[in-house]
Chains A and B, each alone.
Chain A
Amino acid sequence: MFRRVLIANRGEIARRVIRACRSLGIETVAIHSEADSQAPHVREADRSVAIGPAPARESYLDANKILAAAAETGADALHPGYGFLSENADFADAARGAGIAFIGPPSRAIRAMGDKAEARRRMQAAGVPVTPGTGVVADADEAASAASRIGYPVMIKASAGGGGIGMVPCENETELRKGYVTATGRAKASFGDGSVYLERLVHGARHVEIQLAADSRGDVVHLFERECSVQRRHQKVLEETPAPGLARDVRDAMGEAAIRAARAIDYENVGTVEYLVAPDGAFYFMEMNTRLQVEHPVTEATTGVDLVALQIRLAAGEPLGLSQVGLRQQGHAIELRLYAEDPVKGFLPSPGTVTRLVWPEAPWLRIDSGIESGTKVTPFYDPLLAKLIVFGDDREQAIDRARTVIGGVVVEGVRTNAPLLARVLEDPAFRRGELAIHYLSQLLGRS
């Protein structure tokens, strides 16, 4: 087992990894930018290293500085968290090359899934359903002829992309030709690679993902699904498990296909296969995230598996210690993502200093927070303040408890999306489990 783990991240996830390390008796090293010198994760770690100015590219995205901090503090492993360098295969290689274990999958698996067009091809070959679509298209003419073959509407996606960046929906050829220029430009600006491909849009689809775990001996299990359809601009807002109304046979088939996907690329460690699920139950591979997901706690709450501790144990070469038949889901869990966004001003970011903070307390409530009273929320990083994870015996109880929780949260000094979360939890359609990716835009459109 590792002796000292450096956490190459910040906010709530850095604190989450510190807790997991502590439970395994491992020392922790935090890194921080100048803007985060007073952040909770810095104080909670056994040691901390300042690695640079506030902008992420000069600190949390600077691989050389992070690896130097690991060497300086004698860390024998590194946990990348999510975002930042967590899906950067070169970073994983550089860490391993320096004798520091990267707590994540092999870099070949990161590369295989990082190229989205290539990932589609490999998944298809492994018998994982994908939406009708193309490989990388060379120009607008090729895109137009491919789109007429696949059938409109289509989505243009960046091959090097993720997180919805560079995605352009198109209803017809005019939109497609215009969208091609937009999408390639955005892809080039965001990822340094303008390659794009097309996928047919699935009407009324939900976003449901499967949690995977795999060890170096080739054992792979899935830890069931997470329903992630409640999102705004491709940013998830609320996740839950089990997915309401998802037929058991569909859910099982999604899990089995996710295991095939993992085996096809010799996956190790934890990872997530994201699917689109059509109203008729047909499901299609969207992408695989080769890292810990933000919403991992709902899986932990219903399976009893500590996914972060599992990541660390797997990276240290330990066997999975889980069998598919032995895994069970119990109860229902909902995660509410509290963002520093102002719902009154069209969800604009709302940086500031948290002047007062009150979290509700209950035995069925878990709060993974990156803030405390007095924390300065800066404009340099993503707007996630905290995750409120509510457990119930069933969905109805979990929703009722979540309503109580969101009503009891007090955050002053920054504006938050709490009113939006409350509105979702009160919405009859949400309560009926009528979910699709367009759910939130429709709910907001009704106001």
Chain B
Amino acid sequence: MATPVEAQITGSVWKIEKAVGDALAEGDVIMILESMKMEIPVEAPASGRLSEIRVEEGQSIEEGAVLAMID
């Protein structure tokens, strides 16, 4: 079952650290968000394979937005 990776905060995507197809362990940093001059890492909520990245670097995102999917 696919697991969505959601944004904990409103901000923007600063840096994407993983690519589609990468194997992930729970807790691996997938991307780093930026909000109010703070960098906030987005960690994999579960182990699996990164099947989809739905955002681009520099893109603004709202809290709760789905950033990526893990299979």
Which residue numbers of A lie inside 8 Å of B, CB to CB?
340, 345, 348-352, 379-383
Q: A349-B38, A352-B10 are in contact. List 7 more A-B contacts (CB 8 A).
A: A348-B38, A349-B9, A349-B11, A349-B36, A379-B9, A379-B11, A382-B37
Q: Which residues of B have CB within 8 Å of A382? A: 36-37
Q: Are A379 and B8 in contact (CB under 8 A)?
A: no
Q: Are B36 and A381 in contact (CB under 8 A)?
A: yes
Q: Are A340 and B36 in contact (CB under 8 A)?
A: yes
Residue of A nearest to B63 (CB): A351
Q: Which residues of B have CB within 8 Å of A349? A: 9-11, 35-36, 38, 40
Q: Are B37 and A348 in contact (CB under 8 A)?
A: no
Which residue numbers of B lie inside 8 Å of A, CB to CB?
8-12, 34-38, 40, 60
Q: List 9 A-B contacts (CB under 8 A).
A: A348-B38, A349-B11, A349-B35, A349-B40, A352-B10, A379-B34, A382-B36, A383-B36, A383-B37
The majority secondary structure among interface residues of chain B is strand
The majority secondary structure among interface residues of chain A is loop
Expressed in whole angstroms, the Cα–Cα distance for A1 and B40 within the complex equals 45
A-B pairs with beta carbons under 8 A, tally = 37
Q: Which residues of B have CB within 8 Å of A351? A: 9-11, 35-36
Expressed in whole angstroms, the Cα–Cα distance for A1 and B36 within the complex equals 36
Give, as a whole number of angstroms, the nearest-CB distance from A384 to chain B: 9
Q: Which residues of A have CB within 8 Å of B10? A: 349, 351-352, 379
Give the residue among B8, B10, B12 with the most A Cβ atoms within 10 A. B10
Q: Are A348 and B40 in contact (CB under 8 A)?
A: yes
Q: Which residues of A have CB within 8 Å of B9? A: 348-351, 379
Expressed in whole angstroms, the Cα–Cα distance for A348 and B11 within the complex equals 11
